[in-house]
Amino acid sequence: MGILIDENTKVLIQGITGRDGSFHLARMIEYGTNVVGGVTPGKGGQAIDGVPVFDTVEDCVKETGANTSIIFVAAPFAPGAIRESLFNDVPLVICITEGIPVKDMIEINQRLREGGSRLVGPNCPGLVTVGKSKVGIMPGHIFEPGPVGIISRSGTLTYEVASELSHAGAGQTTVIGIGGDPIIGTTFIDVLEMFENDPDTKVVVMVGEIGGTDEERAAEYIKTMSKPVVAFISGRTAPKGKRMGHAGAIISGGVGTAESKIEALEAAGAPVAGLVSELVDKVKERID
């Protein structure tokens, strides 16, 4: 079954005529995603790969019934693109863009709390419900259907973990990258709860990294789960005060260390693997 998206999801692409939007449009269509429209102001009436382009999200939603938006818009304009989808009540918004200012995300998260939409990202690779729909930039060929749900802060580690699990015969239900920025729309806890309630997901893999306290908070929720969770924390050797990769991956004020995250997760009953190969072994033990 998977979570958030499936074969019935109707996707619109904000920034569809740009380099990234048009490139990943083709990849999503190739995977089988139902892309029904796109938005680029001033370019309405065109079509790309047979997909109609509209000037506004409002027009696209009215004409196509789109219920999911993915944003490939440059950072200065991405907050406005997110707000446009939220204003038009698009239920699920996925923002690939990185470099969005924290102050914009504070205001956007307030809007999310007041409305009924969900934002995944920003600065994320999107998500895949395997064999049904791919909304994002993940390489579709690495996934195989199976009982493992994956949630990750790291884009490239998401791919590596999914690929290694697939090669080991441990396929996936849904794979989601939530993004590594300090403020994001969907958290570990949000997705853990979805996987807990998904009947097809039997084991959950959680890929975290240094910085912030999201993993420690997630550990408290894991204590309440009936399904096994296996974790991996990247950045164990990063020097303190040095940002590694994502804007949120920085240790400061004595919090956000790999040690604190590992301790919290293991105390919650979620084993933490030191290597991806070890992670795969731990997952297979819990499937079998």
Residue 10: count other Cβ atoms within 10 Å of its Cβ: 16
d(CA 75, CA 63): 27
Q: What are the DSSP calls for 128-171, one per residue?
A: EETTTEEEES--GGG--EEEEEEEES-HHHHHHHHHHHHHTT--
- In terms of C-beta density within 10 A (0-12 exposed, 13-18 middle, 19 or more buried), how is residue 15 classed? buried
> Among the options 24, 141, 167, 246, which is catalytic?
246
Structure tokens at 229: 């969770």
The answer to whether 81 and 74 are in contact (CB under 8 A) is no
Q: For this structure, is 246 an active site residue?
A: yes
What single letter denotes the amino acid at residue 173? T
Catalytic residues: 246
